[in-house]
Amino acid sequence: MEITIDIDNPLPQFEQLIEQVKAAVTSGVLKPGDALPSIRQLANDLDLNSKTVAKAYQLLTRDSIIETKGYRGTYVHPKAKSNAKFNLQEWTLRKLGESIDELREAGVTDSEIRNAFAEAINRPPPAK
Amino acid sequence: MLEVYLFLAVFPVQILAMSVLYPARFAQLMRTTLVNIPAERLAALYPEVDVGRAHERFLARYRVANAIVIVLGLALFAWFISYMQRPAWNEGWVRGILTTYFMLQYVPIAMTAWFMKRFDKVHKRTSPDTKRKAVLQRRGPFDFVSPYVFLLAVLSYLLFVAFNFYVAQHPFLGYAGPFVNIAIVTLMFMVLGGVMYWFLYVRKTDPLQTHADRMGMLRMLMNTYAWICILIPIFLSLGFARKMLDMSTWDPFAGTVGFLFLSILSIRSVTTRQRQPDADGFGSGPVYR
């Protein structure tokens, strides 16, 4: 499967990469368990900085589209197809929207919500 | 005397391979490479230059450089005929001259490689293509080198180690000891392995190179280096065996055979690197946008 990065495209290069991998998974070109190239190989082949490819791989791993098996390399996740259909951005917006609606109903003003959001996002994550 | 006649028979073949056949194949490869570059691209890169004529001029110079090397080789051949008829000819001398001549045979190629590298650099910098393509397929050494060739290289190394311990029981004058020789060959293997790994992941320099071309080039380079790994311990072991059996007069013949092997590997490398359209399945899949 061929992947194309357009350097004139306003969409960031790592996002172009993510979109194309997701499209390949959804269409069945990439199947669960398929091996993916290493970060270094893909970065050199696409003439990109390896940090760009690493970021794309990191986000795809977070979304369970791909998985890293140590020194053996990176593979397509067993549940990649269903995970690729899930839109994390949309889900985050919906959840935030629901919380904002609830706060507005309780009489909290928008500036108070903004301040509280900034404070909450800067708070360190709870220890696991 | 047999070794002298064998050497005199092999030396002209080596000249023919490295200074006639190899340059001919290389020139053919250069012509094919140039044909693949769009004319308008060349006109934009080199305005007011007749690229076709400049290319022919370059090839003519390349032919002259090789002709000089051939004449020098034939002069050496004539000298070897008279020198090696003498009863006290020195094999060390002949071996030194042969090695120097073999390195000289690579000078026109090194000049051309340098020229092509510069050309690719200019070509890449001014590339109007904003799209970069790659195939989402992991590459590994065994995609290019057969496991049997790899096993042969390991076997060749292990036999060299074993043979060195045998030579240590019957050392000859100038033998450095098994550990020094094993360390040298191990270092050579590590360097060659490092170069092979580098080839596997290196950025492509030619912006017009197709995926099929690149894979073909990688296959050729990886196999050439794998065979060099196999040949190094064999030739070193044969050298030790000649010393042990007091057959040093065979050195020029053995050395020339080694150079002939390297010449054949070089000819293979430019023969299999002929450009082909990207129609072997690689890189012709759908593009996801």
**pLDDT per residue over B16-57, tens digit each?**
999 999 888 888 887 777 777 777 777 777 777 777 777 788
Give yes or no for a contact between B138 and A73, defined as CB atoms under 8 angstroms apart: yes
Taking CB atoms and an 8 Å cut-off, how many pairs form between chains A and B?
Answer: 86
> What pLDDT, on a 0 to 100 scale, did the predictor assign at position B279?
41
Contact B137 A5 (CB under 8 A): no
Q: Which residues make beta-bridge pairs with B132?
A: A5
B125 CB within 8 Å of a chain A CB: no
B269: pLDDT strictly greater than 90: no
Q: Which residues contact A119 (CB under 8 A, 6 or more apart)?
A: none
Please state which of the ranges B69-73, B155-159, B270-274 shows the lowest mean pLDDT: B270-274
> What pLDDT, on a 0 to 100 scale, did the predictor assign at position B184?
95
In this predicted model, what pLDDT tens digit does every residue of B2-15 receive, in sequence order? 888 898 999 999 99
> What pLDDT, on a 0 to 100 scale, did the predictor assign at position B274?
53
Give yes or no for a contact between B285 and B36, defined as CB atoms under 8 angstroms apart: no
* Cα three-residue angle A81-A84-A86, rounded to 5 degrees: 120
β-strands B131-135, A74-76 pairing? unpaired
Suggest the residue from A1, A11, A29 to mutate for an interface test with chain B (most B CBs closer than 10 A): A1
C-alpha to C-alpha distances, B278 to B142, B211, B246, nearest whole angstrom: 22, 7, 55
- Per-residue pLDDT averaged across B55-64, rounded? 84
In this predicted model, what pLDDT tens digit does every residue of B192-241 receive, in sequence order? 999 999 988 888 777 777 788 888 888 888 988 999 999 999 999 998 99
Q: Which residues contact B81 (CB under 8 A, 6 or more apart)?
A: B8
d(CA B132, CA B207) in angstroms, rounded, equals: 9
d(CA B211, CA B204) in angstroms, rounded, equals: 10
- Nearest CA-CA distance, residue A95 and chain B, Å: 29
**Tokens at B120, concatenated:** 């690719």
Contact A37 B285 (CB under 8 A): no
Indicate the residue of A4, A29, A30 with minimum beta-carbon distance to B132: A4
Contact B136 A24 (CB under 8 A): yes
3-state SS of chain B?
CHHHHHHHHHHHHHHHHHHHHHHHHHHHHHHHHHHCCCHHHHHHHCCCCCHHHHHHHHHHHHHHHHHHHHHHHHHHHHHHHHHCCCCCCCHHHHHHHHHHHHHHHCHHHHHHHHHHHHHHHHHHHCCCCCEEEEECCCCCHHHCCCHHHHHHHHHHHHHHHHHHHHHHHCCCCCCCCHHHHHHHHHHHHHHHHHHHHHHHHCCCCCCCCCHHHHHHHHHHHHHHHHHHHHHHHHHHHHHHHHHHCCCHHHHHHHHHHHHHHHHHHHHHHHHCCCCCCCCCCCCCCCECC
Along the 128 residues of chain A, how does pLDDT read in single tens digits? 888 999 888 999 999 999 999 999 988 899 999 999 999 999 998 888 999 999 999 999 998 999 998 888 999 999 888 888 777 778 889 999 999 999 999 999 999 999 999 999 898 887 76
Please state which of the ranges A93-102, B78-87, B197-206, B267-276 shows the lowest mean pLDDT: B267-276
Contact A2 B138 (CB under 8 A): no
**Tokens at A96, concatenated:** 């935030």
> What pLDDT, on a 0 to 100 scale, did the predictor assign at position B191?
96
β-strands A2-6, A35-36 pairing? unpaired
- Shortest CA distance from B124: residue in chain A: A47
A50 CB within 8 Å of a chain B CB: no
- Shortest CA distance from B202: residue in chain A: A44
Q: Which residues contact B64 (CB under 8 A, 6 or more apart)?
A: none
β-strands A74-76, A35-36 pairing? antiparallel
3-state SS of chain A?
CEEEEECCCCCCHHHHHHHHHHHHHHHCCCCCCCEECCHHHHHHHCCCCHHHHHHHHHHHHHCCCEEECHHHCEEECCCHHHHHHCCHHHHHHHHHHHHHHHHHHCCCCHHHHHHHHHHHHHCCCCCC
Phi, psi of B257 (to 5 degrees): -65, -40
pTM of the predicted model, to two decimals?
0.75
Phi, psi of A82 (to 5 degrees): -70, -35
B253: pLDDT strictly greater than 50: yes
Indicate the residue of A30, A37, A46 with minimum beta-carbon distance to B138: A37
Q: Please report how many Cα atoms fall inside a 13 Å half-sphere around the Cα of residue B282, on the Cβ side.
A: 16
In this predicted model, what pLDDT tens digit does every residue of B117-142 receive, in sequence order? 877 777 777 666 778 888 888 888 89
- Nearest CA-CA distance, residue A107 and chain B, Å: 45
Contacts of B136 in chain A (CB under 8 A): 1-3, 21, 24, 30, 36-37, 42
Of B247, B254, B235, nearest in space to B184 by CA: B235
In this predicted model, what pLDDT tens digit does every residue of B136-174 receive, in sequence order? 888 888 989 999 999 999 999 999 999 999 999 988 888
- Per-residue pLDDT averaged across B254-271, rounded? 85
